Amino acid sequence: MIYRTVGQFKTSYRLDQALFPVRQDAVLLTIILVFAWIIFPLTASEFAFQTLLIPILIYALAAMGLNILTGYAGQLSLGTGAFMGVGAYACYKLITIFPWMNPIVAILLSGVFSAIIGVMFGIPSLRIKGFYLAIATLAAQFFLVWLFEKWAWLYNYNASGAIQVPNLEMFGVFVSGPQAASVTQYFIVLAIVSLMTVLCINLTRGNQGRIWKATRDMDIAAELIGINLMKSKLTAFAVSSYIIGVSGALFVFMWRGAAEPNLFDIPLSFRILFIAIIGGLGSIMGNYLGAILIVGLPVVLNIVPEALGLDIKSATVEHLNIMIVGALIIFFLIIEPHGLAALWRLIREKLILWPFPH
């Protein structure tokens, strides 16, 4: 019905390989983009910006970075939180050393530092695989968080050891710090996340993406057909860490406003890994779905009892919340072990065939 593909003829290879071979997908995406770019900014409250829209986008971006490494190139990493931290601290140092620097440039540049560190910690991946590699990236996690605590230069010798985002201006408008309006920050985050998403889609569909997938599926076979494994793995680490670093800079500069070292500790890494796994490894859209489930849903659940006028204690709501989200994660993984993206793919296929299932 809705997904009827009848009459959509592909007359060239180019058309068949298009990003959206089915017209309805393109329409759906347009609707979502209209919502993201026009309707949300006009209607959303401060609360919705700060607790739903901005964090979902940032977490989705971080998960996308991890997905490049784990989902596409098959290298398991537990150091995501620390790489986000590298991005955040790099951005902080850039902004404080060069106060004239455009904040968006600083955010995009800070990913470079994260990429360099990512490649350094990616070198062991040339020798070790799977769970053993996860342990090696865990070392990055512990080392970097320790460094954020001990290296006082990183936080400009602040007595409390935390970094605080200053008020930054761009063309006369505050874009970060307490003076910035949420809607400005939302647009910046949305623009950067959209840019990165387009970049990732094209990267993973193109030559480089195929190299990564070959590495993931069977690295010996990939090597035999002439793929340079070292290059493949290290580019995956570099691209992944770059995106994660940018998301870390956004995380602190466009959302949190302040950060202490233990923010980037292992719970953050796990959270992003869960988003990537539940959303679907090896998928771009899955990161958004995962972020909505893990980051957005608890916030929405938290306000449900109050909106319904039920008098439940705040602590009880929190406990219920943890139970509901946990149960949902298990439920989704049972009905589709490959994540929400695969679930959507299934629904979509059924919709195309509907009402004539075979």
- Asked whether position 257 contacts other proteins by CB under 8 A, the answer is yes
Q: Does 53 bind other proteins (CB under 8 A)?
A: yes
Which among 246, 233, 300 is positioned nearest to 115, based on CA atoms? Answer: 246
> Could you give the CA distance from residue 192 to residue 354 in angstroms, rounded to a whole number?
37
- Report if residue 32 touches other proteins, rule: CB under 8 A: yes
Nearer to other proteins, 233 or 271 (CB): 271
Q: Are 154 and 89 in contact (CB under 8 A)?
A: yes
The burial of 273, by beta-carbon neighbours within 10 Å (0-12 exposed, 13-18 middle, 19 or more buried), is given as buried
Candidates 72-80, 122-130, 164-172, 239-247; binding stretch for other proteins (CB under 8 A)? 164-172
- The residue within the footprint of other proteins, chosen from 256, 328, 338, 352 (CB under 8 A), is 256
For other proteins, the binding residues in 275-314 under the rule CB under 8 A are 285, 288-289, 292, 296-297, 299-300, 302-304, 306-307, 309, 313-314
Tell me the C-alpha distance between 286 and 296, whole Å: 14
Taking the C-alpha atoms of residue 19 and residue 21, their distance in angstroms, rounded to an integer, is 6
**Between 217 and 349, whose beta carbon lies closer to other proteins?**
349
For residue 102, state whether it binds other proteins (rule: CB under 8 A): no
Among 5, 8, 30, 167, contact with other proteins (rule: CB under 8 A): 167
Residue among 64, 75, 59 at smallest CA distance from 280: 64
Asked if residue 200 lies in contact with residue 258, where contact means CB atoms within 8 angstroms, the answer is: no
Whether a cis peptide bond, with omega within 30° of 0, leads into 355 is yes
Catalog residues that contact other proteins under the rule CB under 8 A: 28, 31-32, 35-36, 40, 43-48, 50-53, 55-56, 149, 159-162, 164, 166-167, 177-179, 256-258, 260, 262-263, 265, 285, 288-289, 292, 296-297, 299-300, 302-304, 306-307, 309, 313-315, 317-319, 344
